[in-house]
Amino acid sequence: MEKPFAITLNVGSSLANRTGSWRTEKPVYLNRLPPCNNACPAGEDIQGWLFHAESGDYEQAWRHLVLNNPLPAIMGRVCYHPCESACNRGQLDEPVGINSVEHFLGDEAIKLGWRFEAPSRESGKHVLVVGAGPSGLSAAYHLRRLGHRVTIHEAGPLPGGMMRFGIPQYRLPRNVLDAEVQRILDMGVTLKLNSKVSNILETMEGGKFDAAFLAVGAHIGKRAYIPAGDTSRILDAVSVLRGMEGEEKPMLGRRVVVYGGGNTAIDVARTAKRLGAEEAIIVYRRTREKMPAHDFEVEEALQEGVMMKWLSTIKQADGGTIMVEKMKLDDSGFPQPTGEFESLEADSVVLALGQDVDLGLLGGVPGLEIRDGSVQVGRNMMTGHPGIFAGGDMVPSERTVTVAVGHGKKAARNIDAWLRGKTYAPPPKSELANFDKLNTWYYTDASKTVRPMLDIIRRQSTFEEVQGGLDESNALYEARRCLSCGNCFECDNCYGVCPDNAVIKLGPGKRFQFNYDYCKGCGMCVAECPCGAIKMEPESI
């Protein structure tokens, strides 16, 4: 939701053209969509909660944030912040540290015990959520806010899904995960652990559920055929990371080779170093530029001593030795074998080649379509079977926590509408507040705050959190770097520069309006608005 604006009024319409026939355009106030909001897969009103944070009202900022995302302390740690890549400030000096402020607000909420409000009404409807990962938890939260009873069936022994079993503790401390999950459960959401749903229709009928949201995570590691001797130790990345949640940690040995180039491969290699591996080598068939892992994670892994073998593929494993073939890129950028081989010593080989979803619970569901391992859904997130919705890893999309949280929110709104016999219609988006809409000469350079990092020695030997959070003063500074793109923050520039006194101040928080009896349409207010919240429109005849 964008910041509200005062509506422009035509004062004295009968006199509107008294400024002369030369006025072909008139200025109007408007809301433009900030690029950070537009880029957020969870649909957060980033500019809205930053507005509260920059005034020091952190609880209100948090409450505004969780209108869309119930997991800010988690998101502040694991989100890859596409909002910052879109941030207009990045073209001025550096993007606003949105993710770091979200991290701070999430931690403040846990520290100070801020809770979610109970729903104001009960709908009498009961919704089944399958899976307690980010998408399922998000859907449960939003459905409960809308007054529906919610029961989550989770196949595992603990909630969190891939946030717990796929993201190492050095990136996401488990006390943070547990606190944010518990806050959702405290709203009255029922969680049933070790409760695998093997047949969705039977479970819905047995529990008298009115609708269901499927949010099963991708917990099955993909395999690749590698000729291997009997003594070769070949594991999959998902099993290794899942094993880190048990009392007995995986035994990987002193020399570990990880096959793959995504973020999971990076996580496994960094985990291996922390478990005591002297060597952790990632073998990837393309170049670093083509690696799907995020660059900052690759850099952190290199800092911790993880080694990389680019343009390489594993051809064979025999005991403690693997055979690696060197690759080269063809004219289209696709890797091709060269016939050149080298051997690497390895106590274990971990395959990090992607994950699949267990879709066994969907057998025999009429109308439901599965294509290429994904459940097909419509724009309302509903499958081909009425009342069964799906999101997260189960549907065709980018598999990130942020995307999954957004799916849960979107599904909840559509489930709520469907239960009421209606169709959810999302509000129309305003035009985008691009950088060229801003007048940035009013802003001075203010470098982005760098988050503290754990020292390298402890990073290599412990599972302590690597990236720290901001303190209150840094969070306040970072929030105040926001340019308020496209939305008025009452700087009074338009009021001060108007040569015709045609701008009327409406009071604190109410912004401005134009008196068109006096406005000559010179456009000076547009030229001097720092945030691009005014534009010129053709004068109606």
Query: What top-level class would CATH report for the domain 126-219+357-419?
Result: alpha beta
Cβ atoms of residues 521 and 539 within 8 Å: yes
How many other CB atoms sit within 10 Å of the CB of residue 267?
A: 24
The pLDDT value recorded for residue 231 is 62
Where is average pLDDT lowest: 2-11, 52-61, 249-258, 354-363? 2-11
CATH class of 13-31+487-538: alpha beta
Token pair, residue 144, equals 């409960």
Cα–Cα distance between 483 and 83 in angstroms, integer?
Answer: 14
Query: 222-355 sits in which CATH class?
Result: alpha beta
**Model confidence, pTM:** 0.91
Average of pLDDT values for 455-474? 92
pLDDT at 232: 73
**Summary mean pLDDT of the chain:** 92
Please, what's the b/e burial string for 47-65 (b: 16 or more CB within 10 A of its CB; e: otherwise)? bbbbbbbbeeebeebbbbb
Q: State the first-to-last Cα distance of the chain, in angstroms, to the nearest integer.
A: 34
383-430 tens-digit pLDDT: 999 999 999 999 999 999 999 999 999 999 999 999 999 999 998 999
Work out the pLDDT band at 331, boundaries 50, 70, 90: confident
Percent of all residues in the chain with a pLDDT value above 90, rounded to a whole number = 82
- In this structure, what are the phi and psi dihedrals at residue 350, rounded to the nearest 5 degrees? -110, 125
| pLDDT tens track for 175-230 | 999 999 999 999 999 999 999 999 999 999 999 999 999 999 988 888 888 888 76
Distance CA 339, CA 335 (A): 12
98, 83 Cβ separation under 8 angstroms? yes
Closest of 22, 34, 19 to residue 488, by C-alpha:
34
Q: What is the Cα Rg of the chain in Å?
A: 27
- Asked if 233 and 257 touch (Cβ cutoff 8 Å), the reply is no
Q: Say how many C-beta atoms besides its own lie within 10 A of residue 97's C-beta.
A: 25
| CATH topology identical between 13-31+487-538 and 37-114+453-479 | no
**Residue 351 phi, psi (nearest 5):** -90, 120
Give residue 461's pLDDT: 87
Q: Where are the domains of the chain?
A: 13-31+487-538, 37-114+453-479, 126-219+357-419, 222-355
Residue 259 three-state SS: strand
pLDDT class for 447, splitting at 50, 70, 90? confident
CATH no., domain 37-114+453-479: 1.10.1060.10
Q: How confident is the model at residue 541 (pLDDT cuts 50, 70, 90)?
A: low
Is residue 20 scored above 90 in pLDDT?
Answer: no
Q: What is the mean pLDDT of residues 238-243?
A: 93
* Contacts for 476 with CB less than 8 Å, ≥ 6 apart: 53, 54, 56
Mean pLDDT lowest among 9-13, 52-56, 109-113, 508-512: 9-13
What average pLDDT does the segment 528-532 reach?
93
